[in-house]
Structure 1
């Protein structure tokens, strides 16, 4: 499934439209602990979090994460958006709670392998 398909199916708001939204999503991971994401997320995953600070971009870049979805109407800091655009890391937002959004990702066929 392409990242653009997730955006459409989940009505996500893209905060970094200049990034590559055609990436293939191979799975998903949800965590708000950066060390947990570093230890367990895999390249190609979409990451669900309520974190919005600059360090999420570094972790996503390190792990090869194809996109970050912020839940609960979180808004990324301006420097986070700028860094994500520079690193070509798509950031999207959702009004849904993490539990609900992850359920929808699962229903769309995404898994954590």
Structure 2
């Protein structure tokens, strides 16, 4: 029982990644008071089990795994459909690329978390590795 509790504590949580990498949440809506809130309710306790880097959607569909955090420059609505289908932990848009407005709307509907960064895939992957997120064999 101690081992399973320890394993639970060691699992990487989405909130830690977002905070440590200073990722910008993109599912935000502005309230009447001018505050930003996550439109879908930020599930920072969502577990991230791996990372997939790719822009060719067919490759993502065949190689990404449930719980992966997807790093991409693709910004169209299809990324949300794939993330939902594979039950990915979220999508990080790289190098300053921002999703199209309809992509954000669809992500809010499907409760897919979107984040942005100006960093490259390499820079983000190195940071994830330093945080202890292991690659797949």
Q: Where do 5+ consecutive residues of structure 2 fail to align?
A: 1-11, 28-37
Instruction: Say whether 1:29 aligns with 2:59.
Output: no
Aligned length in residues: 113
**8 A Cα contact 1:47 1:67, kept in partner:** yes
Alpha-carbon RMSD: 1.0
What is the TM-score normalised by the length of structure 2? 0.79
The equivalent of 2:80 in structure 1 is 57
Matched residue of 1:53: which SS? coil
Give the one of 69, 84, 100 matched to 1:77: 100
Q: Offset of 1:103 from its aligned partner? A: 1.1
**Which consecutive segments of 4 or more residues in structure 1 shift more than 3 A?**
none
- Higher percent of residues as strand: 2
Q: Where do 5+ consecutive residues of structure 1 fail to align?
A: none
User: Where do residues 1-113 of structure 1 align in structure 2 (5 Å cutoff)?
Assistant: 1-16=12-27, 17-19=38-40, 20-113=43-136
Choose between structure 1 and 2 for higher RCO, CA contacts under 8 A separated by at least 6 residues: 1
Between Structure 1 and Structure 2, whose CA radius of gyration is higher? 2
Q: Distance in 1 between matches of 2:39 and 2:20?
A: 20
Q: Which moved more, 1:41-50 or 1:12-21?
A: 12-21
Q: Tell me the alpha carbon deviations over residues 30-49 of structure 1, each in whole angstroms, 9 at most, x when there is no partner.
A: 00111111101110110000
What is the TM-score normalised by the length of structure 1? 0.95
Q: Offset of 1:92 from its aligned partner? A: 0.1
